[in-house]
Amino acid sequence: MAGDLTSKIEHYALGQGIDVFGITSAEPFIRNGEVIDPKELLADARSIVVTGFFMKEDDPVLPVPPDRPRGRFSSAYNVGAFTAMQAYYFNTLRRFLEEEGFKAVLNNKYRIPDKLAAVRAGLGRYGKNSVILTEKFGSCVMFVTVVTDAPLEPAALPMEGDTCGTCDLCLRSCPTNAFPAPYKINRRLCITNWLWGKFIPAALREKQENRLFGCGECVRVCPKNRKLKPRRCYPVPLENVEDCPELIPLAAADAEHYKKVFARFPLRAGVNALRGNVIIALGNTANDSAVEPLSQTLQHSKPQIRAYSAWALGRIGGTGARWHLLHAKSSETEPSVLEEIEFALRSSA
């Protein structure tokens, strides 16, 4: 029965436009010494369905007027495709499984490690940048993992072994040197990781450049990805959002404006995480037109936003920026923000 059901769901999924498909068991995963049990998501879990969609993007090329700086997203993935494709993949699998009398639960909060599940399901191997390389789509794949009580037949063996040879382009491309060794990543230095809202130390902020969400440099340079053509057609409508939004209007904008500008996937990080990324990007553009909106965010209720605003004003410099920094210094009570203001005043002197 397991073999017949497995063949049936795979045939159905691939026929509905799912790009890669695999099965693994609902046995626990071990990641960094932590045991992760799929039964936390579904008490009677028996199988895990791992699917993935290809979403390679062109690098957007837009003219940038000096007084209208723009931000950018990952150089490897289409952020406007993720939420719609994740929903389509999950609903496709759920519809099949429920019609067969089984349950399906999406790994929406990523409790199950998607990459480990993908390897165990036979979909790919780890590249030296700790991203999964698939045979057909390289590492330009985003995974959708579903836990079910269906008795499916898992992949016979996980894909193992070296797939990169002597190539280390991904390691050398990292703006922050986040790879201490092949197959090892220091997540505290990973731009993609910190753009979800983690506090970014001043010494690293320049490395962000004008990125707003995601990095993808290590994926972009991979020879296995460079030969792939960007995806043009999707089975669902994508979100109609800008590839390179203007930064200045975003700095002090309200949440409703962010919802109009950003796709739903980056919005999962939260508006203030994205606002912080915008402010750092503005500091890196060093544009005088940003002084006024940054003077507003320098009064924000969140200390991290005020700290970033002080840093950005220090990067821009000039009489106006210094006046706002001195004014903020006279009323600021948060020690970490005061430290940023002092640093900004010194650097803009």
pLDDT value at residue 67 = 74
pLDDT value at residue 243 = 83
Q: What is the pTM of this model?
A: 0.92
pLDDT value at residue 303 = 97
pLDDT value at residue 66 = 67
Query: Helix crossing, 303-316 with 335-347: angle to 10°?
Result: 10
pLDDT value at residue 5 = 96
Structure-derived torsion over alpha carbons of residues 157, 163, 168, 173, reported in degrees to the nearest 10? -70
Q: Which of 157, 16, 116, 91 is nearest to 8 (CA)?
A: 16
Class of domain 246-347: mainly alpha
Domain segments of the chain as ranges: 2-55+76-148, 246-347
- From the number of C-beta atoms within 10 Å of its C-beta (0-12, 13-18, 19+), residue 155 rates as middle
Q: What is the pLDDT tens value at each position of the chain, 349 positions in all?
A: 567 999 999 999 999 999 999 999 999 999 888 999 999 999 999 999 999 999 887 766 666 666 789 999 887 778 889 999 999 999 999 999 999 999 999 998 889 999 999 999 999 999 999 999 999 999 999 999 999 999 999 987 665 667 899 999 999 999 999 999 999 999 999 999 999 999 999 999 999 999 999 999 999 999 999 889 988 899 999 898 888 899 999 999 999 999 999 999 999 999 999 999 999 999 999 889 999 999 999 999 999 999 999 999 999 999 999 999 999 999 999 999 999 999 999 987 6
pLDDT value at residue 159 = 58
pLDDT value at residue 161 = 67
Helices (H), the chain: 2-15, 82-99, 114-120, 169-173, 191-194, 202-208, 217-220, 223-226, 248-251, 255-261, 264-267, 271-285, 291-297, 303-316, 319-329, 335-347
Instruction: Check: CB of residue 95 under 8 Å from CB of residue 18.
Output: no
Angle at 224 between CA 222 and CA 230, to 5 degrees: 90
The two beta strands, 211-213 and 72-73, are: parallel
pLDDT value at residue 56 = 87
At 164, is the secondary structure helix, strand, or coil? coil
